[in-house]
Amino acid sequence: MPDPPVMSAGTRVTYLGHASLLLESGGEVIVSDPVFSDRIGRFFTKRVAPSRFRPEDLRGVVGILISHAHHDHLDYRSLHRLGRTPPVVVPWGLAPYLRWHGFTDVRVVRPWEERSLGGWRVTAVPSRHFGGRLPFIYTSGHQGYVLSGPSCVYFAGDTGFDEPMFLEIGRRFPLDLAILPIAGAVFPWFRRNHMNAEDAVRAFAVLGAKRMLPIHFETFPASFEPSGDPRRRLIESAGRLGVSDRVTILSEGASLLLK
Domain ranges of the chain: 11-258
Residues of the chain with pLDDT under 50: 6-7
The whole-number pLDDT of residue 42 equals 66
Report the C-alpha gap between 26 and 32 in whole angstroms. Answer: 18
| 19 conformational bin, left if phi > 0, alpha if psi -120 to 50, beta if neither | alpha
Beta bridge partner(s), residue 154: 146, 178
pTM for this one?
0.93
pLDDT of residue 78: 96
- β-strand pairing of 211-215 with 177-181: parallel
% of the chain surpassing 70 pLDDT? 91
pLDDT at 7: 46
Residue 222: per-residue pLDDT: 64
* Of 207, 206, 227, residue with least CA distance to 216: 227
Please tell me the predicted confidence (pLDDT) of residue 246.
98
Predicted confidence at residue 218, as pLDDT, reads 87
The CATH homologous superfamily for domain 11-258 is: Ribonuclease Z/Hydroxyacylglutathione hydrolase-like (3.60.15.10)
